[in-house]
Amino acid sequence: MNRMYRLFQGRYAGLGSIVLLAIVLMVVMPLAFDIYRLNLAGRYLTYAFVALGLVLCWGYGGILSLGQGIFFGIGGYAMAMFLKIESSDPESTSIQTTPGIPDFMDWNRITELPWFWVPFNSLTFTIIAVLVLPAAFAFLIGFAMFKRRVSGVYFAIITQALAVVLTILIIGQQGYTGGINGITDLRTLLGWDIRDDSSRYLLYYLNAILLIGCLLIGRWVLNCKYGRILTALRDKEERVRFSGYDVANFKVFIFCLAAFISGIGGAMFTLQVGFMSPSFIGIVPSIEFVIFAAVGGRLSLVGGVYGALIVSFAKTMFAEAYPQLWQFLIGAVFILVVLVLPYGLASIYGRFGQRLRTPLARWFGDRKTHSSTSDDGLQEKRS
Amino acid sequence: MSGFSSQELLAIFAMQGFAGVSFFSVLLLMALGLAIIYGQMRVINMAHGEFMVIGAYATYLCSITLGALPGMTDYYLFFAIPIAFGSAFLVGYIVELTLIRHLYHRPLDTLLATWGLALIMQQGFRSAFGAREVSVLVPDWLRGSYRPTMMIDIPLNGIAILVLTLLVTLGVWWFLYRSRWGLRVRCTTANRDMSGAVGINTKRVDRVTFALGCGIAGIAGAAFTTISSTGPTSGSLYIVDTFLVVVFGGAGSLVGTIASAFSIAQAQSLMEFFLGSSMAKVLTLLTVIGILLLRPEGLIASKVRR
């Protein structure tokens, strides 16, 4: 027993919480929920990807991006474009003026597939696009800004403005993007119906596995030397710079990683929900992603996931019953989390967990063990 | 632009220019408050748009009470503007006292907390005034337009807002650079610790500055009512533009804020005619972001060392 307990100390610290999360996602939730709620949970878990990215770049890198919806949207739209082309084969769109192109293009009197839609005929290209495009876009933004030492509040505002730009662009270019309705009516992936129950289960599990994979990547990144430097530059950027590190490159990397993870979330969102629209890109969703990370705990990778799940479920329940109350409530949550609980729910867990772990360690006869651990990072002080 | 004669182009520029002036006025009034607050306390107030809406609703209330009195319809705006200022000032003062002052050392967190505040305020407006947009009685002397030539048509309310904006800007300039309070504000902006050491109550200065910034947003709301109708979420339409104005102008610089508000408003208004409003907005925002990347300190950087 002693050895087993030690397994979760030191090198493997924080793995316990990931394993616990994996059990919750893969065993508890599928057993507890019917397929409708499970699909809902799967949708919320796609937000968790973005929250996870924010924990990495905001919690540990100190880079608050109010434009994470951009990357969620790019991933989601890339997947949606592929599915839309597939569902608009010439037979099923034969009533259109131009069969074989997506319906909204036909409504906007566009007669052939625009050039940037053409590569999305191929699933391979689409998957590469989902994985590469958000990170590439983040690289452009990050490189331009961090090299110029734009940071903090300025960075937040500029990313927010970019999210607005992208939303306006998508809504304005209705013929190419589907406008405000987005890309809807997505049914099949390579002929496989993504709407029936068995495929929903499959997609949910795929989603959960990908999420756990991203968590592990995040944990690995934070635990290696890079993670140390990242935290250091969050707390004292000048000092890291004077120690000879090129701070901008470190920031660009974590920003790209966050975008990469968010993009996967976006693609999984499209697959599970069956549409993608600009309402998941703009200011409001982008800030919602931040609140997920903040509620869960900005220094806790798993916290971000729980934050996304809890806030989204609460939103669904409250917003249905008392839509007016919900907005007051979420506003209050924003303020309270910032004022009272800056490290989110994870800090509560950390505090109680600490109390729980110490006697547990004694129980296992290991008096010296003090859990100095886990990614809840209570020990870390902010400058 | 081909297809227009040079005279037509001139008229288009003149008219779109004046259409941009109303936008410029509201933007400048919003940005002035935000710039003062950001310049002094490094706090970004995401709820700034909602303070504008407070002013707008205050004007609306004045218009349905005062404006309904016989003979007052033409003059109620003169009372409404101070009331709009006062109500936004008061709410700003309370917000600073209860919320903002706990967050001065955490600028990114202020951003989130004030966003929460904005949500609450929006819902508050919705509960109090309903989700439908309301509009005020526009006095007769603000209707109609001034026509210097056949092709140019300048609405009077745009001119009135411009005059109001100029007066408020002058007032802010006077307050900051010619009054005792302004001296304290500038001191605190330049060096907080030192100001404290020479006996300035910096906390009180913060509070008044924050409330003043909100109050100016309230005046912006009063101006806003004469060009558009007010809804619970009207403020959020302006907030991104306002932030960019502040950042683009170089925070803490009055001249920079004016110049950037003017260029952003005019660029958008002129492009709107040729490209449509959404593309104009996209291009303006992208241009501003591009220039900001070349010059992160903004148009006019403050010389204060930090």
Give the chain A residue nearest B296 (alpha carbons): A150
Alpha helix segments (H runs only) across chain A: 2-7, 15-23, 29-32, 35-54, 68-87, 103-107, 123-147, 152-172, 174-177, 197-223, 225-235, 237-242, 247-273, 283-296, 301-321, 323-340, 344-363
- Surface of A (20-49) touching B: CB under 8 A: none
Chain B residues within 8 A (CB-CB) of chain A? 38, 42, 44, 99, 102-103, 106-113, 115-120, 122-123, 126-127, 236, 240, 243-244, 247, 276, 278-279, 281-282, 285-286, 288-289, 292-294, 296
Residue B11, in any domain of the structure? no
The length of chain A is 383
Q: What residues make up the domain containing A59?
A: 2-363
A153 contact B CB<8A: yes
pLDDT tens digits for B203-255? 899 999 999 999 999 999 998 888 888 888 888 888 888 888 888 887 667 88
Whole-number pLDDT of residue A1: 46
The structure tokens listed for A335 are 């303020």
Q: Which residues are paired to B146 by β-bridges?
A: B154
A171 contact B CB<8A: yes
Q: Predicted ipTM?
A: 0.87
Chains A & B: contacts with CB separation below 8 Å: 117
Give the chain A residue nearest B95 (alpha carbons): A335
Whole-number pLDDT of residue A348: 82
Give the model's confidence band at A12: pLDDT under 50 very low, under 70 low, under 90 confident, else very high: low
Pairing of strands A188-189, A192-193: antiparallel
Contact residues, chain A, for B102 at CB < 8 Å = 339
Q: What is the mean pLDDT of residues A90-103?
A: 78
Give the DSSP H/E element, type plus range, for residue A189. Answer: strand A188-189
Cβ distance of A162 and B289 shorter than 8 Å? yes
At residue B144, does pLDDT exceed 90? Answer: no
Cβ distance of A164 and B126 shorter than 8 Å? no
**Domain tally for chain B?**
1
- Look over chain A and give the mean of its residue pLDDT values, rounded to a whole number: 84
Whole-number pLDDT of residue B93: 95
Whole-number pLDDT of residue A360: 66
CB A298 within 8 A of CB A344: yes
Cβ distance of B296 and A152 shorter than 8 Å? no
Cβ distance of B120 and A328 shorter than 8 Å? yes
Q: Among A148, A149, A331, select the one facing B117 at the smallest CB separation.
A: A331
Between A82-96, A216-230, A303-317, the lowest mean confidence (pLDDT) is in: A82-96
Whole-number pLDDT of residue A2: 52
Tell me which of A41 and B106 has the higher pLDDT.
Answer: A41
Cβ distance of A150 and B44 shorter than 8 Å? no
Q: What is the mean pLDDT of residues A188-202?
A: 82
At residue A376, does pLDDT exceed 70? Answer: no
Residue A112, in any domain of the structure? yes
Give the model's confidence band at B140: pLDDT under 50 very low, under 70 low, under 90 confident, else very high: confident
Give the model's confidence band at A375: pLDDT under 50 very low, under 70 low, under 90 confident, else very high: very low
B136-158 in b/e form (b: 16+ CB < 10 A) is bbbbeebeeeeeeeeebebbebb
Cβ distance of A331 and B113 shorter than 8 Å? no
At residue A381, does pLDDT exceed 60? Answer: no
**Domain tally for chain A?**
1
Q: Please report, rounded to a whole number, the percentage of residues in chain B having pLDDT higher than 90.
A: 28
Tell me which of B143 and B172 has the higher pLDDT.
Answer: B172
Report the 10 Å Cβ neighbour count for A314: 15
A110 contact B CB<8A: no
At residue A284, does pLDDT exceed 60? Answer: yes
Residue B63, in any domain of the structure? yes
Contacts of A156 (CB under 8 A, 6+ apart): A64, A65, A66, B44, B108, B111
What global pTM score does this model have?
A: 0.87
Tell me which of A334 and A138 has the higher pLDDT.
Answer: A138
Whole-number pLDDT of residue B154: 74
Task: Compute CA distances A50 → A215, A301, A354, whole Å.
Answer: 11, 11, 28
Give the chain A residue nearest B128 (alpha carbons): A324
Contact residues, chain B, for A149 at CB < 8 Å = 296
Q: Please tell me the distance from the alpha carbon of residue A292 to that of residue B252, in angstroms, as a whole number.
A: 33
Question: Looking at CA atoms only, how far is residue B240 from chain A in angstroms?
Answer: 6
Give the chain A residue nearest B131 (alpha carbons): A324
Q: Which residues are paired to A37 by β-bridges?
A: none
Q: Please tell me the distance from the alpha carbon of residue A121 to that of residue A129, in angstroms, as a whole number.
A: 12
- Phi and psi angles of residue B132, each rounded to the nearest 5 degrees, phi first: -75, 150
Residue B17, in any domain of the structure? no
Q: What is the mean pLDDT of residues A161-187?
A: 87
Task: Please choose, from the candidates A216, A245, A209, A214, the residue with its C-alpha nearest in 3D space to the C-alpha of residue A228.
Answer: A245
Give the DSSP H/E element, type plus range, for residue B145. Answer: strand B145-146
Residue B57, in any domain of the structure? yes
Pairing of strands B154-155, B145-146: antiparallel
Give the chain B residue nearest A323 (alpha carbons): B123
Q: What is the mean pLDDT of residues A129-138?
A: 94
Q: What is the mean pLDDT of residues A142-161?
A: 87
- Look over chain B and give the mean of its residue pLDDT values, rounded to a whole number: 85
Q: What is the mean pLDDT of residues B32-38?
A: 88
Whole-number pLDDT of residue A377: 42
A150 contact B CB<8A: yes
Contacts of A383 (CB under 8 A, 6+ apart): A235, A236
Question: Looking at CA atoms only, how far is residue B70 from chain A in angstroms?
Answer: 38
pLDDT tens digits for A35-63? 888 989 999 999 999 999 999 999 999 99
Whole-number pLDDT of residue A265: 95
- Surface of A (331-350) touching B: CB under 8 A: 331-335, 337-339, 342
Cβ distance of A153 and B108 shorter than 8 Å? yes
Give the model's confidence band at A378: pLDDT under 50 very low, under 70 low, under 90 confident, else very high: very low
At residue A368, does pLDDT exceed 70? Answer: no
At residue A370, does pLDDT exceed 50? Answer: no
Between A224-233, A354-363, B185-194, the lowest mean confidence (pLDDT) is in: A354-363
At residue B196, does pLDDT exceed 60? Answer: yes
- Phi and psi angles of residue B177, each rounded to the nearest 5 degrees, phi first: -110, -10
A293 contact B CB<8A: no
Q: What residues make up the domain containing B122?
A: 27-237
Whole-number pLDDT of residue B191: 85
Cβ distance of A327 and B119 shorter than 8 Å? yes
Contact residues, chain A, for B48 at CB < 8 Å = none
Residue B7, in any domain of the structure? no
Give the model's confidence band at A8: pLDDT under 50 very low, under 70 low, under 90 confident, else very high: very low
Q: Please tell me the distance from the alpha carbon of residue A260 to that of residue A275, in angstroms, as a whole number.
A: 20
CB A84 within 8 A of CB A102: yes
At residue A3, does pLDDT exceed 70? Answer: no
Write down the residue that tokens 């809807």 correspond to: A184
A328 contact B CB<8A: yes
At residue A369, does pLDDT exceed 50? Answer: no
Q: Which residues are paired to A183 by β-bridges?
A: A276
Give the model's confidence band at A373: pLDDT under 50 very low, under 70 low, under 90 confident, else very high: very low
Tell me which of B257 and B73 has the higher pLDDT.
Answer: B257
Between A258-267, A284-293, A372-381, B272-281, the lowest mean confidence (pLDDT) is in: A372-381
Q: Please report, rounded to a whole number, the percentage of residues in chain B having pLDDT higher than 70.
A: 95
Q: Among B113, B127, B285, select the one facing A338 at the smallest CB separation.
A: B113
Cβ distance of A334 and B244 shorter than 8 Å? no
Q: What is the mean pLDDT of residues B24-32?
A: 90
Whole-number pLDDT of residue B303: 57
Whole-number pLDDT of residue A11: 54
Between A5-14, A139-148, A342-351, the lowest mean confidence (pLDDT) is in: A5-14
Which residue of A324, A334, A381 to mutate against B (max B Cβ within 10 Å)?
A334
Residue A380, in any domain of the structure? no
At residue A304, does pLDDT exceed 60? Answer: yes
